């Protein structure tokens, strides 16, 4: 189809995609370059509700309205486990390009979950673990076992990370190993396990 003068001058952004890691979702796209000009971009989203119940309306993301960077944090708006559509267009003065829309709808269930950063320590006979705080959406499944008793693994679920978490009391002279994975209940998925770390208790 023939492009109008306006569109010929301002092509739509290309290569739009979602980068989603640990429930943080970013829309990215390739820049539209117009020599000597600053091109700006605006982003809108549409959830399954809008498509099926609200006349397919699109909702603007104000933080990503007329921005110059080619990335938008859409985490706050992708807040349900349903398929979302996203679109971006270029703006130059009063002119706007066509919208570019995701090729495939995005559901946060596909987010990439990284193994948690974990630090195991002891305080006397007490086995302790410190985990990185990934926000309220995350829980941690912590597995620990006494070396030599690999078949008897204990599991503890930790929901709120505020500081060092007490895992268990150790036997004298025994070595204990710990590994953890994150778990996101909203999407019912877990990460891979962190590298196991082993520590030894006092000899008694």
Partner 1 sequence: AELYCSLPSPKNVHFESKNLKNILDWSPPEGLGEGVLYKVKYLIYGIGKWIKKSECKDISRTWCDLSNETYNHEDQYYASVKAFFSGNCSRWTETARFNPLTDTKIDPPAVTVSSTEKSISIVLTAPEKWKRTPEEESVSLYQVYSGLQYNVSVLNKKTKKRWVFSIKNNTLVVPRLESNTVYCVNVQTYVTTPLLLSGFSKECCIATLKD
Partner 2 sequence: TGNKILRFGPCMISMNVNEIRASFTAIKATIQAKDAIRTISILSYPYSLHNFNVDRCCIIHHLLRFYVDKVFKHCETEDSHVNRKISSIANSFLSIKKKFRQCNEQNVCDCGEEAIEKYKQILTNYGQLNITSAAMKSLGELDILLDWMEKA
The residue from 14, 30, 49, 173 that contacts partner 2 (CB under 8 A) is 49
Among 139, 181, 182, 191, interactor with partner 2 by CB under 8 A: 139
Q: How far is the CB of 126 from partner 1 (least distance, A)?
A: 7
Q: What are phi and psi of 135, to 5 degrees?
A: 105, 170
173 binds, among partner 2, partner 1, none (CB under 5 to 8 A by kind): none
CA nearest to 145, candidates 126, 181, 165, 170: 170
The rounded distance, in Å, linking the Cα atoms of 33 and 192 is 40
123 binds, among partner 1, partner 2, none (CB under 5 to 8 A by kind): partner 1
Contact assessment for residue 57 and residue 101, using Cβ atoms and an 8 Å cutoff:
no
Establish if 48 lies at the interface with partner 2 (CB under 8 A): yes
Q: How far is the CB of 106 from partner 1 (least distance, A)?
A: 27
- φ, ψ of residue 49 to 5 degrees: the values are -60, -45
The alpha carbon of residue 162 and the mean position of all alpha carbons in its chain are separated, in whole angstroms, by 20
Residues 175, 10: Cα–Cα separation, whole Å: 65
Give dist(CA 24, CA 28) in Å, integer.
13
Q: Tell which residue, 139, 128, 113, has the closest CA to residue 178.
A: 128
Interaction between residue 85 and partner 2 (CB under 8 A): no
Least distance to partner 1, CB of residue 118, Å:
15
The residue ranges that bind partner 1 (CB under 8 A) are: 121, 123-126, 128, 158-160, 162-166, 169-170
Please report where in the chains the tokens 């599991």 appear, as a residue: 155
Q: Which does 140 bind (CB under 5 to 8 A by kind): partner 1, partner 2, none?
A: none
Q: How far is the CB of 43 from partner 2 (least distance, A)?
A: 12
**CA–CA dist 80, 148 (Å, integer):** 44
Q: Collapse the DSSP code of 200 into the 3-class scheme (helix H, G, I; strand E, B; otherwise coil) and give the result.
A: strand
Least distance in angstroms from the C-beta of 151 to partner 2: 30
CB of 62 to partner 2, least distance (A): 5
The answer to whether 159 contacts partner 2 (rule: CB under 8 A) is: yes
Kindly list the residues in this chain that would bind partner 2 in the complex (CB under 8 A).
45, 47-50, 52-54, 59-62, 76-77, 79-82, 84, 136-139, 159-160, 185-186, 188
């Amino acid at each position: 189809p023939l492009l109008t003068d306006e569109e010929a001058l301002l092509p739509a952004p290309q290569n739009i995609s979602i980068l989603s890691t640990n429930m943080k979702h970013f829309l990215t796209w390739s820049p539209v370059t117009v020599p000597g000009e600053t091109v700006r971009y605006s982003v809108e989203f549409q959830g399954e509700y809008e498509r099926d119940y609200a006349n397919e309306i699109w909702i603007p993301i104000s933080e990503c309205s007329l921005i110059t960077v080619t990335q938008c944090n859409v985490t706050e708006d992708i807040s349900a486990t349903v398929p979302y559509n996203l679109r971006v267009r270029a703006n130059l003065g009063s002119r706007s390009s066509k919208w570019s829309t995701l090729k495939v709808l995005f559901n946060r269930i596909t987010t990439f979950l990284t193994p948690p950063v974990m630090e195991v320590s002891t305080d006397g006979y007490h086995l302790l673990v410190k985990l990185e705080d990934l926000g309220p959406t995350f829980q941690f499944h912590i597995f620990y076992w006494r070396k030599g008793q690999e078949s008897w693994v204990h599991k503890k679920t930790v929901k709120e990370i505020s500081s060092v978490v007490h895992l268990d009391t150790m036997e004298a002279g025994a070595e204990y190993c710990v590994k953890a994975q994150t778990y996101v209940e909203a999407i019912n998925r877990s990460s891979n396990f962190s590298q196991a770390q082993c520590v030894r208790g006092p000899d008694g």
